[in-house]
Structure 1
Amino acid sequence: MERLGTGIGWRPEIADAVEEMPGVDWVEVVAENVCPAHLPESLLRLRRRGVTVVPHGVSLGLGGAEPPDEDRLTALAERARALGSPLVTEHIAFVRGGGALTASPRLEAGHLLPVPRTRDALDVLCENVRIAQEALPVPLAVENIAALLAWPDEELTEGQFLYELADRTGVRLLIDVANLHTNHINRGEDPARALAELPVEALAYVHVAGGFARDGVWHDSHAHPVPRPVLDILTDLASRVAPPGVLLERDENFPAPDELERELTAIGTAVESGRTAASRVAARRAADSAPTPAPARGAGPAAASDTGDRGAHGPDRRTGGMESARQRVALAQTALLSALVAGTPVPEGFDRVRIGVQARSLTAKRADVVAKVAPELPVLLGEEYRTAFLAYAQRHPMTGGYRQDALEFAESLLLADRPRDAAVRREVREWWLDRSGPAPRSRRPAARVARAAQRVLLRR
């Protein structure tokens, strides 16, 4: 695996600071936020300096019941080629539900949701990863995610689940130590056990990030300083294996550049502490002439020995094969997602309080992202934006992307004669008309503009 070194997540808000920051060997960019034909000048300058750029996807939904979307895979491959990346990364998560497998309306989570650690979900994930690997021009690495809630009746620990995934597909692992900390607080899972069960030879690189506590749970915000427990988990990981790369993630609430530099220094110190600890253990073993024990693997290949025809060969064909596994996973994930975004009953076995916390978190995240993709709306609506959007979101689950969500939110306001200020309402209508067609009105026939306006007026 290529040695990446010390990295930081590239974001437009800190692009200038990242370019001037000493000791940055590589950056990671959210794949969906860049266009291969129009890469930001900052990224091009970094590339010319020899800085590695890795695209990090958030919308494939590799842990979902359906095979990964071909268009999304093509887009991710295009970004890898345009950036000259040595690998691409995605998440072990599902982000949508419903559709043909459940004969129900399509739903979008707008965020990463945890995959049940069951044999069915593992079989589907392995198949989806193999499909993605075949479509991508460079190796794929997948990331463990943070979770506010746990699935009932799980069959594997996180370490066992990741071990079998890597063993069956050869996929690389992107280990987020902040997510291990989050799952320790929220789900009582031991980070040290997860690290002991991982196939460390599959490690591609490591994420480090901050968060905060609220509603009795830990939120992986990427908007707060990295806490000491996360650095301690990083030290533990570095005592087991030398990470090929370690990257600081920050998505908002960006501090001054010198604060980011201090966080990078703290991360480097944590890694060095792990290496020092590993060297001491090796020296003691050498002095005692004791054989080096094999690292703990938890379930590893042994856990697959009782899975019938599954293991490295996929789902047991006696249970109906991959399509049946996909349908079972689809039904379970859709039931959970519907409870989170559409107010349907909470599936049996889930913690209702945690479901409420996760639902509120998804809605807040949705409001924040819509404000970013359509920044004119919070400017036009002012303080009314957030209240109005949260009320809209409770009645309208997201069925498409965030840009579509912004348009549907604006349309819902107009149909309800909102905002009350007529001048502001006219501006919202102008904004909606300018974006509701395939091209801005300046490039669209006048008749089409008139029809779009008439649709809104007739519905009022």
Structure 2
Amino acid sequence: MRHLGTGIGWRPEIADVVERMPGIDWVEAVAENVCPGHLPESLLRLRERGVTVVPHGVSLGLGGADRPDEERLGALAERAVALGSPLVTEHIAFVRAGGPLTASPRLEAGHLLPVPRTRDALDVLCENVRIAQDALPVPLALENIAALFSWPGEELTEGQFLYELAERTGVRLLIDVANLHTNHVNRGEDPAAALAALPLEAIAYVHVAGGFERDGVWHDSHAHPVPRPVLDILTDLASRVAPPGVLLERDEDFPGAEELEGELEAIREAVRAGRAAARERAAAGSTAGAGSGSGAGGGRQRLGVAQAAVLSSLVAGTPVPEGFDRVRMRVQARALAAKRADVVAKVGPELPVILGEGYREAFLEYARERPMSGGYRRDALDFAGWLLGAGRPADAGVRRALRQWWAERAGRAPGSARPAVRVARAARRVLLRARPE
């Protein structure tokens, strides 16, 4: 595997800082936030300096029951070519459920959700990975995710699941040591046991990130400093294999350059400590066995029904399926709604300005009644239409500003003199189309 070195997640908010930062060998950019025809100048300058750029996808949902979407695969391939990347990465997760496979409404999570570690789910994932590999111009690596809840009746450990996935498909692994810590706190899983079961030769690179614990639940926030337990897991991993690359992720509440550089140096030191330990002890061997698998077959529909039931309970208020921890599922549901509100505020930054302090409360009320089904930009438009259809906000001036915002983005000409009642009726039609049957 190509040696990458030490890297950091490139984000527009810290683009200037990353460019000036010494010792950065490579960066990772969220694939969906990069347009191949209009690459950010910062990324172009980094590439000219010889800094490797890796696109990191978040929307494929290879762990879902449906086959990978051709348009999303094509978009990821385009970004790999545009950036001259040696590989692309995605997640072992599902992000949507329902639809024709299950004869139920299509739902979007807006977040990475865990797949059950069962033979059915593994067969589907392996088939989806092979489809993706055939469509991509460079190797694919998949990341283990953090989870707030566990699936009942799982048949494999995290390590066994990842081992079989890599063995059966040849896919590379992106190991997130922060996610191993998250699953240790939230699900009682031993990170050392997971590392010991991995096919170490399949590791493409490693993610490191921070989070916080609240009421016994670890939240993988990517907005806090990297804690010592995560660095210790990185040291354990480095004592077993020399990681080709290690990358610091930060997505929110960006600190100054000095603090980021300090975190990168702590990551380098953790790797050095692991390599020193490796010289003093024999590398641990894998205890997981590879299975041949039986193909996805009817497992797609079984997996689809199960994932649709889980996602519906999280975003549409239906009952939590039998066997799941209801407390953890409520925590996950609240986290999904909060993230949804945050992202809609980013894709429609005028909405919090127009609505002021009432934005968040109004959006969470809307989210309880309307699961997301068409992406965040559609969600922002539907939220505004929902408010207008209900004659809200009460302040006529605020409502007029919201109506103008909605009309411009719903295809109306800016400044249109369309009567308010007709706009409200159009908003109601948007809501009716989006309403699950």
Task: Give the conservation status (yes or no) of the 8 Å contact 1:55–1:80.
Answer: yes
For residues 119 and 177 of structure 1, the distance between their equivalents in structure 2, rounded to whole angstroms, comes to 25
Aligned match for 2:409, one of 425, 431, 435: 435
In the TM superposition, what is the alpha-carbon distance from 1:379 to its structure 2 partner?
A: 1.2
Report deviation, 1:71: 0.4
The question of whether the paired residues in 2 share the 8 Å contact of 1:197 and 1:300 is answered with no
2:431 maps to none
Residue 343 (structure 1) aligns with: 317
CA distance in 2 between counterparts of 1:457 and 1:404 reads: 18
1:275 is matched by which residue type in structure 2? R
Question: 2:208 — aligned with what?
Answer: 208
Asked if 2 retains the 8 angstrom alpha-carbon contact of 1:433 and 1:452, the reply is: no
1:24-423 → structure 2 map (5 Å cutoff): 24-281=24-281, 295-301=284-290, 304=291, 311=292, 314-315=294-295, 322-423=296-397
Alignment partners' CA distance in 2, 1:417 and 1:298:
62
- Cα offset for 1:452? 10
Is residue 129–residue 169 contact of structure 1 (8 Å, CA) maintained in 2? yes
Q: Is the 8 A contact 1:159 1:298 kept in 2?
A: no
The alpha-carbon deviation at position 426 of structure 1 amounts to 1.1
Equivalent residues, number: 428
User: What amino acid is the match of 1:296?
Assistant: G
Partners of 1:458 and 1:86 in 2: CA distance? 47
Q: Distance in 1 between matches of 2:207 and 2:419?
A: 49
Q: Report the Cα offset of residue 334 of structure 1.
A: 0.5
2:298 aligned counterpart, secondary structure: helix
Q: 1:184 to 1:458 in 2, by over 3 A?
A: closer
Q: TM-score, normalised by structure 2?
A: 0.95
CA distance in 1, matches of 2:45, 2:128: 35
2:386, 2:427 within 8 Å by CA — same for their partners in 1?
Answer: no
Assess if the C-alpha contact under 8 Å between 2:344 and 2:377 holds in 1: yes
Task: Name 1:290's counterpart in structure 2.
Answer: none
Q: 1:385 to 1:196 in 2, by over 3 A?
A: same
- Give the residue type in structure 2 aligned to 1:35: C
List runs of 5+ in structure 1 lacking aligned partners: 283-292, 305-310, 316-321
How far apart in 2 are the matches of 1:266 and 1:218? 21
Between the aligned partners of 1:91 and 1:452, the Cα distance in structure 2 is 45
Taking every aligned residue pair, what percent have the same amino acid on both sides?
76
What one-letter code is carried by the residue in structure 2 that aligns with 1:299?
A: A
CA contact (8 A) 2:231 2:267 kept: yes
Q: Does the aligned pair in 1 maintain the 2:388–2:427 contact within 8 Å? A: no
3-state SS of 2:28 partner: strand
SS state of the match for residue 280, structure 1? Answer: coil
Structure 1 residue ranges, 4+ long, deviating more than 3 angstroms after superposition: 449-453, 457-460
What is the distance in 2 between the residues matched to 1:133 and 1:411?
40
Distance (Å, rounded) in 1 between the aligned partners of 2:39 and 2:426: 42
Instruction: Determine if the alignment matches structure 1 residue 454 to structure 2 residue 422.
Output: yes
TM-score, normalised with respect to structure 1: 0.91
Displacement, 1:417?
1.6
CA distance in 1, matches of 2:288, 2:234: 23
Larger Rg: 1
Letter of the aligned partner of 1:272 in structure 2? R
Shift of 1:132: 0.3
SS in 1 for 2:302: helix
CA distance in 2: counterparts of 1:198 and 1:296, whole angstroms = 9
Q: Deviations over 1:411-444 (max 9, x none)?
A: 111111212221111111111111112xx735x9
Residues 254/6 of structure 1: CA separation in 2 closer, same or farther (3 Å cut): same
Cα contact 1:433–1:453 (8 A) shared by 2: no
Task: Give 1:457 deviation, angstroms.
Answer: 4.5
2:119 counterpart letter in structure 1: R
> For the structure 1 residues 114 and 459, does the alpha-carbon distance in structure 2 shift closer, same or farther, using more than 3 Å as the test?
closer
2 CA distance for matches of 1:198 and 1:256?
35
Q: CA RMSD in A?
A: 1.6
Task: Please say if residues 407 and 423 of structure 2, whose CA atoms lie closer than 8 Å, have aligned partners that are also in contact.
Answer: no
Task: Name the CA distance, whole Å, in 2 between partners of 1:222 and 1:179.
Answer: 11
